[in-house]
Every structure is written in C-alpha cells, then in structure tokens.
Amino acid sequence: MMLLEHDAKMLLAAAGLPVPAGRLVRRGDIAGLPALPLPQVLKVQVPVGGRGKAGGIRLVREAGDLATGLDELLGMEIKGHRVQACRLERAVDFVGEAYLSFTLDAGPGNIRLLLSAQGGVDVEDPSTRPHLLSAAVPADPEALRTAIDTLAERLPDGVRGAVTEAARSLVPLFFRYEALLLEINPLFIRADGSWVIGDTKLAVDENAFPRQRELAAIVRDNPDLYPEAALKLDQGYDYVPLDRDGDIGLVTTGAGLSMQLIDELVARGRRPFNFCDIRTGQFKGDPARLIQVLERIAAGPSIRSVLINFFAGHTDLGEIARLLIIALKSVPQLQAPITARMIGNGLDKARAIIAEAGNPVLIETDLERAIDLAIARAENAHA
C-alpha cells in the first residue's frame, strides 16, 4: 500500500531529513490552525501521483487563500480518490527539481535505482518523461550506496552533490521500512545547492505490518485515510472496492477463489462491485465481518445482485448460515437478491436454517450455476 505523502514525510522528518514544516488538515481543523509563515502549499492527500496536474496542489500566498483552498480541495475527487485531508506546508523556493527512486523488483530480488536531474511533474507522464539514469542493484544497503555514487557521476555538476547526498541518506529508511518503493519527486534543489524533500512516495508491504509496528500504527490511527488497510488490520479480512457502479456484490472467502470469480464475472460482461476474502474460518461466532461487508455492498448505488461463495472445509456451513441470517437482519437496506454457492461440511444444516428464516438466500452448490443465477438475477432486477 502507498502511504500518504504526509505520513511518509513525517517518517523522513523523524529520521532527520529536510522536509518542509507542515501538518495534516482535515475538514473542521481549519479554525484551529496555527499560522505558518507564508507562502504555503496545500496538497491533497490521496495515494496517487500526478496531483499537481489534476488540480490538487494550491499555492497559499496570503492568509485568505487558505480557507478557500481547503474548501475547494477537501471533498474533491482526484483520480478516483475522495480527498479527506490535505497537507499544509511551507512553500519551498527552488532553482531545480531532481528525481530519485528505489523500487524493489521482487522477481530478481533487486532494487531498481533511478536518478535524474530533471524531476517534477513531467516524470509522471510517459510522453514528457525526461531521461532517467537507471541501475539494477542487489538488495543490500552498501551495494545501493555504491550504485548511487556510480550512477550519480553521470549527473550534471550542479545537482550531483545534492542528489547523491539525498539518495544516500534515504538508503537506511528504505531498508528499515522494508519498502517496495521510495521515490522523491521533486527533490528541490535550492540556489545554495542544498536540497529539500518536495514530494515522497513510500509504498510499503502490509504483510510486514506484524513487525513494522510504526507503519501499522499509522494505518490504525487513521482509518478514515486508509480504510481498506485499517479494515484488514482490525478485522483480519480483505475487502477492496472495485467499481462504484458495479452491480454484483461479492461475499467470498479465499483470495484466489474470489479473484477467479471476479475474472469470470468480468469475462461475462458483469461489473463486480468489490473483491472480498472474508475468511469464514475466522468468524468465531461473530457476524461482525458479514455485517460490515453487507453494509458496504448495500451502499453501492447500482447493486442488483449479491453472490456469496463459501467453500467450507473444517468450518461448519450451519454455523455460517446462522451468522448470515443474523447479518442479513441487521442490514435490511440490502434489497438485492442473494445467491449463495455453499458446499462442504454442514450444508444440510445451512439449508434448514435458511429455510426456517424464510429463504432470504438462494443456495446453489455448483459454482458455475451459482454465477449464472447471480447474473440472471442482476439482469432481472435491471428489467
């Protein structure tokens, strides 16, 4: 997952790197803002690049610009992400914008090192991308430092020192946080040759969260900014929204099986609303996960059908059906027909429980037929 610029910059600042002073601003924080010296920049915090070109960065020249800027930016949608917060920081005066990044290349287990004297917003766009110096480096801090020195020899005199120093000072952070990507773009170069972190992309691996407590805490403390990751941390299950106008909601267990289901639906021209790996094996008698997922699906504006796929190994379908009925009762706003492919241990008990509840769920044991039914029911609902 991508950390927001603000959180990544806080980590860099804590490690002693030069980051412009700044803070995170949510709606409602505006009144209590301490005055930062002007000019400032206001930057939307969404986990994607290209915010500048998308209108998500504003210069605050005078105090009055702040409220207007925040009002315009908060709630905006940038590349499919609703803006919940902005970073307000001191604007930097610079003479150049350089670029540097380390990317973990998981296949060969290397780090891709990229450097350029010409960073800035044009790097994001393939048609305007400047030349980037590139090297594949073994995933080792000392090797990375050596590669930085070697590659930087090909940079122009004016920026070589700054880029080398900045890149070298980022090496320990890349390893400490087990990062997948650490990009600085722009690395602002000032008239006196010094450098400042302009923008940071730090992608981290959620699978490392059990030992990366600091990263996990960022997510846990800001569930509004990292809804998917926070849900996964707290609930121990995966849920990813796919298509806001999707018409089939999925309540599925097993990541591979769930992805396969999504592929099949897409291949048949449907628009799945979400990915889900609810991990039925870990319900432990609690319908909370089911309720949360059903609530999210119910909130989809175009939902016409819900497809459940529970493949029970050691889990008991009777128990799952019991929880499902409780969950459905607590999400009455979910009106779409529900088709459940259930197979395995306790199926007869599950059938009995669902029948007793008045058959709010249509059970089908064959996966292909369950998909057919869910699609047919979505189409009927459209008619």
CB of 89 to ligand GDP, least distance (A): 7
CB of 117 to ligand GDP, least distance (A): 14
H-assigned helices in the chain: 5-14, 63-73, 141-152, 157-176, 213-221, 227-235, 255-267, 288-298, 317-330, 347-356, 367-382
Q: Is 47 in the site for ligand GDP (CB under 6 A)?
A: no
Closest CA to 87 of 28, 33, 43, 29: 43
Chosen from ligand GDP, Mn ion, none, partner binding at 47 (C-beta under 5 to 8 Å by type): none
Question: Strands 133-138 and 110-116, how do they pair?
Answer: antiparallel
Helices (H) and strands (E) in the chain, counts: 11, 18
- Mask of contacts with ligand GDP, 10-39, x by CB under 6 A? ------------------------------
The residue (of 44 and 350) whose beta carbon lies closer to Mn ion is 44
Quick check: 255 and 266 in contact, CB under 8 A?
no
> Which span (41-49, 158-166, 238-246, 271-279) binds ligand GDP, by CB under 6 A?
41-49
Return all residues near 236 (Cβ < 8 A) that are at least 6 apart. Answer: 279, 282
* 51 belongs to the binding site for ligand GDP (CB under 6 A): yes
Residue 246 near which of ligand GDP, Mn ion, none (CB within 5-8 Å, type-dependent): none
Q: DSSP letters along 207-257, please?
A: GGTTT-HHHHHHHHH-TTTSHHHHHHHHHS-EEEE--TT-SEEEEE-SHHH
Tell me the β-bridge partners of 73: none
Residue 61, both tokens:
């020249």
| Nearest CB to ligand GDP, comparing residues 6 and 270 | 6
How far apart, in whole angstroms, are the C-alpha atoms of residue 52 and residue 121?
7
Verify binding: residue 183, Mn ion, rule CB under 5 A: no
Give SS3 for 86. Answer: strand
By CB under 6 A, tell whether 6 contacts ligand GDP: no
Q: Of the two residues 42 and 144, which places its CB atom closer to ligand GDP in the complex?
A: 42
Q: At its nearest, how many Å lie between ligand GDP and the CB of residue 85?
A: 14
Task: Tell me: does residue 186 bind ligand GDP (CB under 6 A).
Answer: yes
> Could you tell me if 344 and 281 are in contact, meaning their C-beta atoms sit under 8 angstroms apart?
no
Q: How far, in Å, CA of 37 to CA of 117, rounded?
A: 29
Binding of Mn ion at residue 185 (CB under 5 A)?
yes
Which partner in Mn ion, ligand GDP, none is near 57 (CB below 5 to 8 A by kind)? ligand GDP
As measured in angstroms, the least distance from the Cβ of 181 to Mn ion is 13
Span from 126-134, 154-162, 193-201, 267-275 in contact with Mn ion (CB under 5 A): 193-201
Can residue 57 be called a binding residue for ligand GDP (CB under 6 A)? yes
Site for ligand GDP in 79-108 (CB under 6 A): 91-92, 97
- For ligand GDP, the binding residue among 1, 15, 23, 52 (CB under 6 A) is 52
- For position 291 contacting ligand GDP by CB under 6 A, the verdict is no
Would you count residue 5 as binding Mn ion (CB under 5 A)?
Answer: no
Task: Map residues 194-233 to x or -, x wherever contact with Mn ion holds by CB under 5 A.
Answer: -----x----------------------------------
How far does CA 234 lie from the centroid of its chain?
A: 16
Return the number of the residue (97 or 238) whose C-beta is nearest ligand GDP. 97
**Quick one: tokens of 159?**
């920026």
- Residue 73 carries which side chain, given as an amino acid letter? L
Site for ligand GDP, rule CB under 6 A = 41, 43, 49-52, 57, 91-92, 97, 120-121, 185-186, 198-199
